[in-house]
Structure 1
Amino acid sequence: MAEITLRSFTPADRDWLVDQHGRLYASDEGFDGTFGPLVATILDDYIAAHDPSRETGWIAQQGATRLGSIFCVALTPSTAKLRLFLLVPEARGKGLGKRMLATCMGFARDRGYTDMQLWTHRSHEAAGALYKAAGWSLDRETAVTSFGQDLIEQEWTVRL
């Protein structure tokens, strides 16, 4: 079995990542068709204008098979934002998410960010447990209707 590597995101990964987000969130969470286009917009903006000295994305890959993604982008000069953290179901529960989160946080720290934040939903319990174990704090929860679902949005932060 091939080793799992974390490699840099390239524009060639865009369509795969949009498709995975759209399909997985539809099947796992019941999200409607508005979620995939949001992910496409996030990726298009990243491809067009990210600062490679302070922002990056990774694709987890085993052989030729993509397993997930995670991105670190600038929110402010001192705050990084974690985005598009995704693992396909067959890659979950094996420590890969922990490795990807540590890589992203290490990148942010190395680039001089003093803290990070992220946005997610309460229904992502495994991710929430991972964030908590890595020192993140749940700062706010808000009831919303998004992507055709009643959800509890969460905002998490961590000092680096």
Structure 2
Amino acid sequence: METLKIREIQPEDNQQVAGVVRSVLVELGVPKVGTAYEDKALDDMYATYDKPRMSYFVVENKGKIIGGAGIAPLPGFEDEVCELQKMYFLPEARNRGVGAQMMNTCLEFGKANGFKKCYIETLPYMEGAKKLYKRTGFENLEEPLGDTGHYNCTVWMIKDL
């Protein structure tokens, strides 16, 4: 059985993480504007998340990054609401329980850092992600929260921590 390891991002992971996120977005046919694809943060995820109450976690398999997810304060609701961000997995990481493990890691980090709720934005056709979010206790919202800049993401969900 292979050993998958979830750990916090390191500076040397930046290039692999950006590659994972962009390749998954392209695979899923996600628009390159109004989504994570064009975020400047993608090229230096370590520095982006190396701040108080923020973290980006990666899934590593034999030295290769096969997925990741971040947690950060939601702009406009920083005190009480965190946002699950840039959670993407290569095909080889899917349907193996990695998403649920990553979700737990991120939600525990949010709770430990004093957040009361967790917010997510996604795209309507990201069925696997939406199923995972529902299983984890996220509920749909009628409109977005905060100012993420991801105007093409039209599914908004929230969960109490």
**Normalising by the residue count of structure 2, what TM-score does the alignment of the two structures yield?**
0.81
Q: The residue matched to 1:104 in structure 2 has which SS? A: helix
CA-CA distance at 1:128 after TM superposition: 0.4
Residue of structure 1 in register with 2:147 after alignment: none
Give the number of the structure with larger relative contact order, counting CA–CA contacts within 8 Å between residues 6 or more apart. Answer: 2
Residue of structure 2 in register with 1:99 after alignment: 101
Matched, 1:156 2:157: yes
Residue of structure 2 in register with 1:114 after alignment: 116
8 Å CA contact 1:7–1:58 kept in 2: the answer is yes
Q: The residue matched to 2:129 in structure 1 has which SS? A: helix
Q: The residue matched to 2:56 in structure 1 has which SS? A: strand
Q: Tell me which stretches of 4 or more aligned residues in structure 1 moved more than 6 Å.
A: none
Structure-1 separation of matches of 2:88 and 2:157: 16
8 Å CA contact 2:117–2:158 kept in 1: the answer is yes
Residues 1:42 and 1:25: Cα distance change in structure 2 (over 3 Å): closer
Q: Deviations over 1:18-62 (max 9, x none)?
A: 22222221222154488675233356476157424x111101011
Q: The residue matched to 1:29 in structure 2 has which SS? A: coil
Q: The residue matched to 2:39 in structure 1 has which SS? A: helix
Count residues with an aligned counterpart: 153
Written as runs of structure 1 = structure 2, the 5 A alignment for 1:127-138 is 127-138=129-140
CA-CA distance at 1:84 after TM superposition: 0.7
Structure-2 separation of matches of 1:152 and 1:82: 13
Structure-2 separation of matches of 1:124 and 1:48: 25
Residues 1:49 and 1:86: Cα distance change in structure 2 (over 3 Å): closer
**Normalising by the residue count of structure 1, what TM-score does the alignment of the two structures yield?**
0.82
CA-CA distance at 1:98 after TM superposition: 0.5
Gaps in structure 1 of 5+ consecutive residues: none
Written as runs of structure 1 = structure 2, the 5 A alignment for 1:138-153 is 138-140=140-142, 153=154
CA-CA distance at 1:66 after TM superposition: 1.1
Residues 1:49 and 1:56: Cα distance change in structure 2 (over 3 Å): closer
Gaps in structure 2 of 5+ consecutive residues: 145-149
**Overall identity of the aligned pairs, in %:** 20
Q: CA RMSD in A?
A: 2.7
